[in-house]
Structure 1
């Protein structure tokens, strides 16, 4: 996924949305261990990645809900552990086709 982003820009992915996600404000999102059943699914755009010294590796993700949600319309989600299915639920799609 990182190679795809570096080569072609942001990628579209799908993931499972849990109730705790609705109230995300900041930090690296990780669903609560007691959340077993998702509220549904959602498609978003991964625009980058990073590492938080306290919360570990994460993806930087653009949400479509609006800039009042989350961190100005963005959120961070755990990277490398398939959190909420973000790394395996659906194939990543490049932002622009290679011609």
Structure 2
């Protein structure tokens, strides 16, 4: 954020994907801090890192995904 009214304040970043016990997941980092993690839908796998069920659009993660394009 460099100009104008700041909006939001939280983001996650999908950094990979995998499958464990035949369950597909996204591997995600969280912008809140490295201590964050929850039981239940989110499984903490390391500080600031968590897995989310892939293919079910949990928290609209598959519907609301955005990506930047580099101008080189």
Q: State the 1:43 CA deviation.
A: 2.3
The structure with more helix, counted as a fraction of residues: 1
Q: Which has the larger radius of gyration?
A: 2
**Contiguous gaps of at least 5 residues in structure 1:** 1-41
Instruction: Give 1:49 deviation, angstroms.
Output: 0.5
1:46 to 1, 7, 14: 14
2: distance between equivalents of 1:69 and 1:84?
A: 17
Query: Moved runs in structure 1, 4+ residues, more than 4 A?
Result: none
Aligned length: 55
TM-score under structure 1 normalisation?
0.48
Unaligned runs of 5+ in 2: 1-9, 38-45
TM-score (norm 2): 0.64
Higher relative contact order (CA 8 A, sep 6+): 1
Distance in 2, matches of 1:59 and 1:81, equals 11
